[in-house]
Amino acid sequence: MPAARGRNRSYGAGDRVSFKVRGPWGRNGAAVAQQVERLICNQQVGSSILSGGFANGRTYLGPCSLTPAAMTHPTVAILSIGNEILLGDVPNSNAQWLCRELTARGAEVRHIAVVRDVEDEIAAEFAHALTYNPLLVVTTGGLGPTDDDRSLAAVARALDRELRFDPVAASMVESFYTRLGDRGRVAKVDLTPARRKMALLPEGGRALANRIGAAPGVLLFHGGTEVVLLPGVPEEMQDIVLGSLAPHLDSLFGPGSYREIERFAGVSDESILAPLLRETSERHPQVYVKSRAELFGRSASFRITLSCRAGDVGEVNRLLAGAQDDLERTLARHGIGLDARADSAADR
């Protein structure tokens, strides 16, 4: 079995070492622990069982068979499923909304893909998403009753699991059609084969209540990765994320905070601006600095976005304030002004 490289030596199967994972995690300790376990599982060395605890919410102490060189924010991969997206009939608003929602929770979205309603292609792209070693994979679309809704079967295939009838999911589907029947919108409320299809979940999956539509969401686990399957209708997807899935996301990511602010630089040449932004970014590695050309009135300028995620809002504000002050001084030395133009801060 291959050895895993630690900070000072190599560790192989059966070795047990103590390790510390330090970083500005705030109260996101649970997510960090799951990342450590995911790294161990992916390396396939030693035991993936962690023991120990967190000191002040920032340091994990415990025996393990791997010493990770560094830790990052919890990572996410998103898979948007549907021919209508690739045909240009509808925008991929689900992925955009999920990026904002999960980023606000302290996650880092590393990968987004769009795939057709073809089971083989969904399974292949899902398997590819797992190669990013994400803490969470989210899929949207393909959970409905029609023949081209293939997400449940595709994910089951990718994870080498059987589809199993889930009574809880079936009850959710039945309740939805009963409500429609009470309103006179459907003639029959029984669990037809097409409706029963929405209650066939990958083995080990747990149904997530959908208060708007028929298809339940699904939560399941694969090694150190958690998988969430959501409907493609935006209102239904958002209802599950903000409703039945929310307590799990709270536990997974912790309460973390995200904020971004926008400023505008009075310069029309990005080649002048770029090295100054790079200098600032290098001095503030926890703040992401990005520029984008803007037209304002008849003049061109550059929109500069500074964004940061951390364990609490106080830490986020401190890091952003330091980066913004540094950026203003750096640009001023080169005769470039920086203005807000409006209240452009966004908290999530």
Q: Which of 232, 221, 238 lies closest to 79 in space, CA to CA?
A: 232
Residue 226 lies in a domain: yes
Residue 70 lies in a domain: no
Residue 103 lies in a domain: yes
Quick one: 211 and 296 in the same domain?
Answer: no
- What average pLDDT does range 21-41 have in this prediction? 49
Backbone dihedral angles phi then psi of residue 321, each to the nearest 5 degrees: -60, -40
Highest average pLDDT, of 16-30, 108-122, 246-260, comes from 108-122
- What average pLDDT does range 334-341 have in this prediction? 83
Domain-ending residue, one of 223, 253, 283: 253
Quick one: 98 and 230 in the same domain?
Answer: yes
Quick one: 202 and 236 in the same domain?
Answer: yes
Quick one: 266 and 248 in the same domain?
Answer: no
The domain that holds 172 is classified in CATH as 3.40.980.10
Residue 143 lies in a domain: yes
Q: What total of structural domains would you count in the chain? A: 3
- What is the average pLDDT score of the chain? 81
Residue 69 lies in a domain: no
Whether 149 has a pLDDT exceeding 70, the answer reads yes
Residue 37 or residue 208, greater confidence: 208
Quick one: 190 and 88 in the same domain?
Answer: yes
Quick one: 206 and 86 in the same domain?
Answer: yes
Instruction: Give the tens place of pLDDT for each residue, 118-127.
Output: 999 999 999 9
Quick one: 274 and 305 in the same domain?
Answer: yes
Domain-ending residue, one of 64, 86, 105: 64
Instruction: Calculate what percentage of the chain has a pLDDT beyond 90.
Output: 59
Spell out the residues 6+ positions from residue 341 whose beta carbon is closer than 8 angstroms to its own.
Answer: 263, 264, 296
Quick one: 271 and 216 in the same domain?
Answer: no
Question: Which range of residues forms the domain containing residue 33?
Answer: 4-64
